[in-house]
Amino acid sequence: MRAFGVFAGLAAAGIWGGMYVVSKVVLDVIPPFTLLTLRLILGAACLGAVIVARGGFRATRHDWARVLLVGLVGYGISLGLQFTGTKLSTAATASLVTSASPVFILLFGAWMLREPVTGRRLAALALASLGVLAVLDPRGAALGRQAFLGNLALLGAALSWGLYSVMVKQASGYLNTLEVSFIVLFGGLPTSLPLVWVELRTIGVGAITPGVIAGVLYLGIVSTAGAMYLWNKSLALLDAGVVSLLFFAQPVVGVALGGWLLHESLGLGFWIGAGLISAGLVMAAMVPMPRTREATQRAD
Counted domains in the chain:
1
pLDDT at 122: 80
Mean pLDDT in each 10-residue stretch from start to end of the chain (300 residues)? 84 82 84 90 95 91 94 88 77 67 84 83 75 62 68 85 92 92 93 90 92 93 93 90 78 65 61 70 57 43
What pLDDT does 292 receive? 39
DSSP per position, 42-98: HHHHHHHHHHHHTT-----HHHHHHHHHHHIIIIIIIHHHHHHHHHHS-HHHHHHHG
How far apart are the C-alpha atoms of 111 and 95, rounded to whole Å?
26
Question: Which structural domain range is residue 11 located in?
Answer: 2-298
Q: Is 279 left (phi over 0), alpha (psi -120 to 50) or beta?
A: alpha
Backbone φ and ψ for 30, nearest 5 degrees, come out as: -115, 125
Predicted confidence at residue 249, as pLDDT, reads 75
Q: 102: number of CA atoms within 13 Å, CB side?
A: 32
pLDDT, position 288: 53
pLDDT of residue 297: 43
d(CA 280, CA 120): 9
Query: What distance in Å separates the CA atoms of residue 99 and residue 89, rounded to the nearest whole number?
Result: 15
